[in-house]
Amino acid sequence: MDLRGTYTAFIKKHAAELGFDHCGIAQAVQLDDDARRLEKWLHQGMHGSMHYMENNFDKRIDPRKLVDNARSVITLLLNYYPQETQRPDAPKVSKYAYGHDYHEVIKAKLNTLLARMQEQFGAVSGRGFVDSAPVLERAWAQRSGLGWLGKNGNLIHKQAGSFFFIATLITDLELEYDGPVGDFCGSCTRCLDACPTGALVAPGVVDGSRCISYFTIELKELLIPDKMQGQFDNWMFGCDACQDVCPWNRFSKPNNTVEFTPIPEILNFSTKDWEELTEEEFKRIFRRSPMKRSKYAGIRRNLRFVNS
Tell me: the pLDDT tens digits for 126-158? 999 998 788 999 999 999 999 999 999 999 999
pLDDT at residue 214, as a whole number:
96
How many domains are there within the chain? 2
pLDDT at 296 over 70: yes
Q: Based on the fold, state whether residues 22 and 159 are members of the same structural domain.
A: yes
268 is in an annotated binding site: no
Q: Based on the fold, state whether residues 135 and 195 are members of the same structural domain.
A: no
195 is in an annotated binding site: yes
Q: Based on the fold, state whether residues 22 and 165 are members of the same structural domain.
A: yes
**Average pLDDT across the chain, whole number:** 96
Q: Based on the fold, state whether residues 64 and 20 are members of the same structural domain.
A: yes
Q: Which of 122, 131, 107 is nearest to 53 (CA)?
A: 131
Please indicate, yes or no, if residue 89 is contained in any of the structural domains. Answer: yes
Ramachandran region of residue 190, left (φ > 0), alpha (ψ -120 to 50) or beta? alpha
Bridge partners of 167? 76
pLDDT digits (tens, 9 = 90+) for 7-52: 999 999 999 999 999 999 999 999 999 889 989 998 899 888 888 8
Q: Based on the fold, state whether residues 165 and 226 are members of the same structural domain.
A: no
Coil, strand, or helix at residue 61? Answer: helix
CA 212 to CA 209: how far, in whole Å?
Answer: 9
Which active-site residues does the annotation give? Answer: 131
191 is in an annotated binding site: yes
pLDDT at 1 over 70: no
Please indicate, yes or no, if residue 139 is contained in any of the structural domains. Answer: yes
Q: Based on the fold, state whether residues 157 and 295 are members of the same structural domain.
A: no
pLDDT at 308 over 90: no
75 and 23 in contact (C-beta within 8 Å)? yes
239 is in an annotated binding site: yes
Task: Tell me the residue type at 99.
Answer: G
Helices and strands of the chain, counted as H and E runs:
12, 10
Q: Based on the fold, state whether residues 134 and 163 are members of the same structural domain.
A: yes
The length of the chain is: 308
Task: Tell me the residue type at 70.
Answer: A
CA 151 to CA 201: how far, in whole Å?
Answer: 10
pLDDT digits (tens, 9 = 90+) for 209-256: 999 999 999 999 999 999 999 999 999 999 999 999 999 999 999 999
pLDDT at residue 242, as a whole number:
98
Q: Based on the fold, state whether residues 201 and 102 are members of the same structural domain.
A: no
Q: Based on the fold, state whether residues 160 and 280 are members of the same structural domain.
A: no
Q: Based on the fold, state whether residues 48 and 146 are members of the same structural domain.
A: yes
